[in-house]
Amino acid sequence: MPPADVTSAAHAASPHGLRAVQRVALAGPAARQEIEDGLLAPQARISPKYFYDRRGSELFEAITRLPEYYLTRTERALMRAHGRAIAGAVGLGRVVIEPGAGSCDKARTLCRRLAATHFVGVDISADFLQGAVLRLRAALPALDARAVAGDITAGLQLPADIPPERRLVFYPGSSIGNFDPADALALLARMRALAGPGGGLLIGIDLPKDRAVLEAAYDDAAGVTAAFNRNVLAHVNRLIGSDFDPCRWQHRAFFNWAASRVEMHLEARGPQRVRWPGGGRDFASGECIHTENSYKHSLPAFEALLAKAGFCRCQSWTDARGWYAVLHARA
pLDDT tens by residue, 238-256: 999 999 999 999 999 999 9
Order of all β-strands in the sheet with 249-256: 249-256, 261-268, 288-295
| Residues 285 and 249: beta-carbon distance below 8 Å | no
User: Looking at residue 22, what is its pLDDT?
Assistant: 32
> Between 70-81 and 105-114, two packed helices, what is the crossing angle to 10 degrees?
10
Phi first, then psi, for residue 83 (nearest 5°) are -55, -40
User: Looking at residue 16, what is its pLDDT?
Assistant: 29
Model confidence at 27, in pLDDT bands (50, 70, 90)?
low
User: Looking at residue 275, what is its pLDDT?
Assistant: 98
Average pLDDT for the chain: 89
User: Which has the closest alpha carbon to 44: 222, 208, 202, 236?
Assistant: 236
Q: In what helix (H) or strand (E) does residue 136 lie, and over which residues does it extend? A: helix 126-139
Model confidence at 19, in pLDDT bands (50, 70, 90)?
very low
Does the structure show a pLDDT above 80 at 7?
A: no
Does the structure show a pLDDT above 80 at 172?
A: yes
Q: Give the bridge partners for 122, in sequence order.
A: 99, 148
User: Looking at residue 17, what is its pLDDT?
Assistant: 31
Of all residues in the chain, what percent carry a pLDDT higher than 90? 79
User: Which has the closest alpha carbon to 46: 312, 202, 237?
Assistant: 237
Whole-angstrom distance, CA of residue 137 vs CA of residue 215: 37
Does the structure show a pLDDT above 50 at 295?
A: yes
| Residues 169 and 118: beta-carbon distance below 8 Å | no
| Residues 107 and 127: beta-carbon distance below 8 Å | no
In the predicted model, what is the mean pLDDT of residues 273-286?
98
Phi first, then psi, for residue 207 (nearest 5°) are -95, 155
pLDDT tens by residue, 200-227: 999 999 999 999 999 999 999 999 999 9
Please indicate, yes or no, whether the overall pTM of this predicted structure exceeds 0.75. Answer: yes
Phi first, then psi, for residue 304 (nearest 5°) are -65, -40
What is the 3-state secondary structure of 102-121? CCCHHHHHHHHHHCCCEEEE
Question: What Å distances lie between residue 72 and 79, 209, 228, 278, CA to CA?
Answer: 11, 16, 17, 41
User: Looking at residue 124, what is its pLDDT?
Assistant: 76
| Residues 299 and 325: beta-carbon distance below 8 Å | yes
pLDDT tens by residue, 61-108: 999 999 999 999 999 999 999 999 999 999 999 999 999 887 888 999
User: Looking at residue 90, what is its pLDDT?
Assistant: 96
Burial class of residue 328, CB neighbours in 10 A (0-12, 13-18, 19+)? buried
User: Looking at residue 161, what is its pLDDT?
Assistant: 94
| Amino acid letter, 196 | G
Question: What Å distances lie between residue 152 and 6, 235, 236, 320, CA to CA?
Answer: 11, 20, 20, 32
Q: In what helix (H) or strand (E) does residue 204 lie, and over which residues does it extend? A: strand 200-206
User: Looking at residue 233, what is its pLDDT?
Assistant: 98
Model confidence at 130, in pLDDT bands (50, 70, 90)?
confident
122 vs 325, more confident: 325
User: Looking at residue 13, what is its pLDDT?
Assistant: 30
221-241 burial, b at 16+ Cβ within 10 Å, e below that, comes to eeebbbbbbbbbbbbbbebbe
